[in-house]
Structure 1
Amino acid sequence: MCFNFTVIIGEIANFAAYAYAPAILVTPLGALSIIFSAVLAHFILKERLHIFGMLGCALCVVGSTTIVLHAPKERHIESVKQVWHLATEPGFLVYFWVVLAVVAVIIFQYVPRYGQTHLVVYIGICSLMGSLTVMGVKAVGIALKLSFGGVNQFKYFETWIFTIIVIFCCLLQINYLNKALDTFNTAVVCPVYYVMFTTFTIIASIIMFKVRFFFFIHP
């Protein structure tokens, strides 16, 4: 019961984070949960980390720190219609339909043949759809933030379309993530899923919000 409660609180906080910070920043920071899980498992479950586990944790810290230091500023958004405009521009529309096409091919062509033997099949579906989920969650989160601030965003049909997309993508993700967890080792599924999910989410954010990373400090 306590575990379920903490999971619910964590997901609510994660959802709220997307409303206040760039998705390109929030998603990679989720990888830090792997480190906390590894540390807790070491002290509570007595599962000792070997050298590659320590290296993986170190890389997560380095990667997350790098993204935080060079994360772009959040674009000021005053309504869901602005998000809708970004989502319906040619670049993101191409990404959206390419993702749906690739996912459809994987589900109907590769899942029956390789789903039980190749981890990347299930995780690929979850990660691709996850990038769309995050974009939808970003829009719904902004709608809720603005609505609580006194500017009702649920009077626009765009808000409800984003909500439907989030529900559809989440259900698809949960279905295939559960299949991956039932078929493969959890210790392998979680890191691979975080890497692929984060990668596709960053790509989707760059395309939709046209963000840029600044890796060099100019005088």
Structure 2
Amino acid sequence: MDTTFDKTGAAILALNDLYIRSGVPASNAPRPSWYKVVGLILAIVSGLFIGVSFVLKKHGLLAANVKYNEEAGEGYGYLKNVWWWCGMTLMILGELCNFAAYLFVDAILVAPLGALSVVVCTILSAIFLKERLSFVGKVGCFNCIIGSVIIALNVPTQSGIDDINELRHMVAQPGFATWGSLVVAVSLVVAFWLGPKYGKKSMFVYLTVCSLIGGLSVVAVQGLGIGIMAQTRGIPQFNQWFLYVVLVFVIITLVTEIIYLNVRLLSVLRCRKR
């Protein structure tokens, strides 16, 4: 009996040694501590860039309306405005930093820090666009900062998934599939039915589209980032078809967000003129 146990133990140790030599990391292995620092810095820089971009784009929209005598929310004169393009450039840089942050930390840290862009935009709008910030708005900004700090201090050191195959398995789960399908369906209804009817009266119509699609975009961007990081660790990812599905989905969702974010800014200007 003892001999049998000895042989079994030796076999298990041999298999474990082969597994370690293969270079495949253990599931949910702790990440290096500097990953969190780099991801945190990238997320903060992203929030700063995106926050400033909102102010620049809105300034460009206002200037274009005056220069080309356009009604707020109508026309494309802003495409000829240098301030609008500066804002768009900063937004692209911010999104790139945001994507890079997903390479180092999970969405549970990056997404909340995106709220910093709201705080930056609010402060700069009050300074440069002479917009008033109510008491409720100040409390909201304070809560954004406190919430982001608390989450940053308590973010887990282990990743939920390690490669694109794990993401494919989790996406195929009934819960996520149902939620994702519902989000897409509601977004289509809001964009193509409610938008034309109520989009000129309320900014929340197109804001809803940005928010819903943004939720899916976060998952897709993080999945793409995890796939890239797994590839750098020696785990083949670019031979997996699902990685390219995620890439296409990232492009579609980000373009959709940019389009409806611009429409939302135009609707804000329209609502203020009423």
> Hey, what does 2:102 align to over in structure 1?
18
Deviations 1:21-51 (A, max 9, x none): 1212211111112323444556667767554
Q: 1:118 to 1:74 in 2, by over 3 A?
A: farther
Task: Give the distance between the partners of 2:129 and 2:202, measured in 1 at CA.
Answer: 29
Contact 1:122 1:180 in 2 (8 A): yes
Figure out how many residues of one structure are paired with residues of the other and give that number.
Answer: 187
- For the aligned residue pairs, the C-alpha RMSD in angstroms reads 2.7
Q: 1:168 maps to which residue?
A: 252
- Structure 2: how far apart are the matches of 1:59 and 1:41? 19
Q: Report how far residue 12 of structure 1 moved.
A: 2.1
**Alpha-carbon spacing, 1:21–1:89, altered in 2? closer, same or farther (3 Å):** same
Is 1:121 aligned to 2:205, yes or no?
Answer: yes
1:29-178 equivalence runs, <5 A: 29-40=113-124, 49=133, 51-75=135-159, 77-178=161-262
Q: Which runs of 5+ in 2 are unaligned?
A: 1-84
Q: CA deviation at 1:73?
A: 4.5
Q: Percent identity?
A: 36
The 1:62–1:117 alpha-carbon spacing in structure 2 relative to 1, beyond 3 Å, is same
Greater relative CO, 1 or 2 (CA 8 Å, sep 6+): 1
Pick closer, same or farther for the CA change 1:51–1:106 going to 2, 3 Å.
closer
Q: Structure 1's 98 and 112: CA in aligned 2 closer, same or farther, altered over 3 A?
A: same
Match of 1:214 in 2: none
Q: TM-score, with normalisation over the residues of structure 1?
A: 0.73
Instruction: Kindly report which structure 2 residues correspond to 1:183-202, keeping only aligned pairs within 5 A, or say none.
Output: 183-185=267-269
Structure 1: gaps of 5 or more residues:
189-219
Q: CA deviation at 1:149?
A: 3.3
| 2: CA distance, partners of 1:136 / 1:174 | 16
The answer to whether the 8 A contact 1:22-1:73 is kept is: no
**Structure-2 change in CA distance of 1:174 and 1:48 (3 Å):** closer
Question: Given the superposition, is the C-alpha separation of residues 177 and 4 from structure 1 closer, same or farther in structure 2, using an over 3 Å criterion?
Answer: closer
**SS state of the match for residue 103, structure 2?**
helix
CA deviations 1:55-108 (Å, max 9, x no partner) are 232121122223334444543533210111111111100101111111122123
